[in-house]
Amino acid sequence: MRIWEIGRKTLWLDEAFSVWLARHPLGEMIAWIARIDQHPPLYYLLLHFWIGLVGDGPAAVRLLSALLSTLTIPAMYLLGRRLLGPAAGVLAALILALSPFHVRFAQETRMYALLMLNASLALLALVHLWRGVLARTPDPPAPFPARTPNPPAPFPTREGGGMLPSPTRGGAGGEVNRRAAQAGGLRHEYAHQSGAGRKNAAAWIGYVLFTAAAMLTHHTALLFPLAINLFVISVLLWRRLRRKPIPDPQSPIPNPQSPTSWLLAQLAVLLLWSPWLSAFVFQAAGVDREFWIPAPTFPALIAALKTFLSALLPPLAGRSDLIWAGYAVLIGVGVLSLRNQGPLLALLGTLFLTPIGGELLVSLRRPVFYDRTLIWATIPLYLLLAAGIAQLRRWPLVVAAVGLVAMANAASLHEYYVNFRKEEWDKAAGYVAARAADDDLLLFNATWVQIPFDYYFRAYGRPLVERGAPADLFDLGVLEPKMTESDLPRLRELLAGRSRVWLIYSHNWYTDPRGLIPAALAQEFALRDLRQFVGLEVRLYERPSP
C-alpha cells in the first residue's frame, strides 16, 4: 500500500523543497536549513545520500519514506506484544499498516515517516528497560532458581558403577559433586545475567540514539522526551511514596529505575542533540516572529483525531458518524481494559496527551498545531484501539471490530489513491514550456514556488529568465516573504522593457494576500491567458501595442 502508484502524484511545494535542499553539497545544505527552514537536518541528510543512490525522480525520492514507514510496522507489533500481548501486537501492527494517515506520509518526501520510526524505536527501547513496571502480567519466574545450601545434582546419581556418589549421602565424592553443581549453577546464572545485561545495554543505547534522532528529525519531537520524563518522574515519585524499593539487578549495566541512571541517559540525549541547539534557537525565533499555521480551534482538534484514525474518510452515505462512534467505543474499551495497569495506562496517556497539549500550549503564543507533526501520538492511540479490540475476546466481535477498521480505512485509502490531488506543478510547467517565447519573463510571487516549478520545467530545456517578487529566491533569507507596497518599485524595474510576463501565482493567500502583484501587472499589461491548476494558477500578461 505504501508504494502503490507512489510516483503518480506530483511533488508539491514542500516535497520539491526537500529535494532542492538534499541536492546541495552537505555544507551548503546545512547552512540553508539553518537559515531558511524550520526543521532539523536528519531527514535531509538521509535524503541527500538516498538521492545519490537512486536519483531524484518522484517515485525514487518518496521510496525512502515508504521504506521508513514500513519498518515502523514491526516496531509497532513488538510494542503491542510486549505491552498488551501477542493478539494486541498483531492488531496494532494491522491498524498501522492500514492507516491512510501513515500511507499518505509514506508517499511524501518529508520527514514524518522518519519521525514516527524514531519515536517507535525509542519507545520500544524504553519498554524493554521498564518491562518490570509496565508488564501487563507479573514477571515470569526466574529461569534459574535461587541457590540453596544443598542444590540438586545436575544429573542422576547412583552409587557404584563408577558414578559419583550422591551429594546427600556424604563422602568426598558427594562434596565434589555438590561443588560442581554449585559452580554449574553459578555459570548458568552468570550467563543469564550477562545476556540480560547486554540486552539492557542495547536498550539504553537504543533509547538515547533514537530519542536524539527524533529530536533531530522534527522540532516538535522535543515533546517526546518531555512525555517520557513526565511518565518516569511520576513512576519514581509514586514508588517513593509507596516506599517501594528500586530493584538492583547487581549488574554493571545502569538500572533504568535509578534516578541517577535516568538523568545520565537524558544528558546523553541532550549531548547528541546539542550541535543543533544554536540553529534551533534561530529557527524558533523566526517561527515566533511569523508563521503560516492558523490558530487551533476545537473543530480542528477533532479533525486531527479523526485524521489519525482514518484520514480522508468520505461521508459514506451518512454512516461515517457510526464509524467514528465505533472507534470511540473501542478506544474506550481499551482504556477500561488497562484500568488495573496504572503505569502502562499512564505511559500511553502521557504519550498521547503531551504532544497534543504541548502544541496547543505553544499555540497560545504562536500557532504550531498541525496533525502531521503529531504523527507519533498515533502510537498510544493505535495501541489503545488494539487493546480494545483484543478485549472483546469472542471471535465474532473481534472480526466485526477489525472489519469496521478495515472498511473505514479501505474507503479512506480509495479516496487518497483516486481523488486526493497535490499541486499540479508538472502540468503548469508543461503548459508554460509549450507557449512561452524565449524573451518572456517568468515571475513567481512566493519566491520558493519557483522550486517545484523548476523541478518539472528543467525537463523542457527552456532557459527563460526567472525572477521573484518581492525578492528573488531566498535573497531576503526568508522562506516565504510577503509582498508589500515598498516592494512595488523593484517589481516595476523587473517589468521594464518586457513585452510578455508569465505570473506563476501560488500560496498567494499568505505571501500576497492583498493581490499587489496582479494589480501592478494590470497597470502596464493586459491579461491574455489564465489557466488554473490544482494549487496554483498561471497568468500570461502582454503589453498592449502602442
* Closest-CA residue to 181 (of 205, 147, 231, 143): 147
**CB 182 within 8 Å of CB 147:** yes
DSSP string for 191-257: HHHHHHHHHHHHHHHHHHHHHHHHHTT-GGGGHHHHHHHHHHHHHHHHHHHTTPPPP----SSPPTT
Q: How far apart are alpha carbons 491 and 125 in whole angstroms?
A: 56
Our CA angle for 346, 348, 354, nearest 5°, is: 90
Residues forming beta bridges with residue 526, ordered by sequence position: 542
CA dihedral 480, 481, 483, 485 (to 10 degrees): 170
Residues whose CB falls within 8 Å of the CB of residue 205, separated by 6 or more in sequence, listed in order: 125
Q: What are phi and psi of 500, to 5 degrees?
A: -140, 140
Going by the DSSP 8-state scheme, the letter that residue 56 receives in this structure is S
| Full 3-state SS string of 127-150 | HHHCHHHHCCCCCCCCCCCCCCCC
Give the amino acid at 446: A
Instruction: Please classify residue 394 by burial: count the beta carbons closer than 10 Å to its beta carbon, then call 0-12 exposed, 13-18 middle and 19+ buried.
Output: exposed
Q: Which three cell numbers stand for residue 176?
A: 565434589
Q: Are 256 and 262 in contact (CB under 8 A)?
A: yes
The single-letter code of the amino acid at 239 is R
Tell me the three cell numbers of residue 54.
537512486
Residues, the chain, total? 546
**Cα-based torsion angle of the residue sequence 160, 163, 169, 171 in order, rounded to the nearest 10 degrees:** 90
Q: How many CB atoms lie within 10 A of CB 529?
A: 12
β-pairing verdict for 536-542 and 500-505: antiparallel
Give bridge partners of residue 467 from the DSSP assignment: 443
Sheet holding 441-444, edge to edge: 465-468, 441-444, 500-505, 536-542, 526-533
C-alpha cell recorded at residue 496 = 521594464
- Give pLDDT, residue 292: 87
Q: Is-contact 10 424, C-beta < 8 A?
A: yes
The Cα–Cα gap between 206 and 270 comes to: 14
Instruction: Please give the C-alpha separations between residue 346 and each of 128, 258, 352, 480, in angstroms, as whole numbers.
Output: 16, 19, 10, 41
Handedness of CA 66, 70, 75, 77 (dihedral sign): positive
Nearest of 112, 96, 398, 350 to residue 233 by alpha carbon:
350
pLDDT at position 241: 79
Q: What is the pLDDT of residue 320?
A: 87
Can you give the pLDDT of all 546 residues of the chain as single tens digits? 999 999 999 999 999 999 999 999 999 999 999 999 999 999 999 999 999 999 999 999 999 999 999 999 999 999 999 999 999 999 999 999 999 999 999 999 999 999 999 999 999 999 999 887 886 544 344 433 444 444 444 444 444 444 334 444 445 555 555 655 555 554 555 455 566 678 888 999 999 999 999 999 999 999 999 999 999 988 888 877 776 655 444 444 556 667 888 999 999 999 999 999 999 999 999 999 888 899 999 999 999 999 999 999 998 757 888 999 999 999 999 999 999 998 999 999 999 999 999 999 999 999 999 999 999 999 999 999 999 999 998 999 999 999 999 999 999 999 999 999 999 999 999 999 999 999 999 999 988 899 999 999 999 999 999 999 999 988 888 888 899 999 999 999 999 999 999 999 999 999 999 999 999 999 999 999 999 999 999 999 999 987
- C-alpha torsion sign, points 413, 415, 418, 422: negative
pLDDT, residue 302, reads 96
Taking the C-alpha atoms of residue 503 and residue 521, their distance in angstroms, rounded to an integer, is 9
- Helix 171-215 crosses helix 112-129 at what angle (to 10 degrees)? 150
From the list 495, 511, 503, the residue with the least C-alpha distance to 538 is 503
Q: What is the per-residue pLDDT for 109?
A: 98
Q: Report how far apart, in Å, the C-alpha atoms of 458 and of each of 426, 435, 450, 467 are.
A: 11, 15, 11, 16
Residue 438: count other Cβ atoms within 10 Å of its Cβ: 8
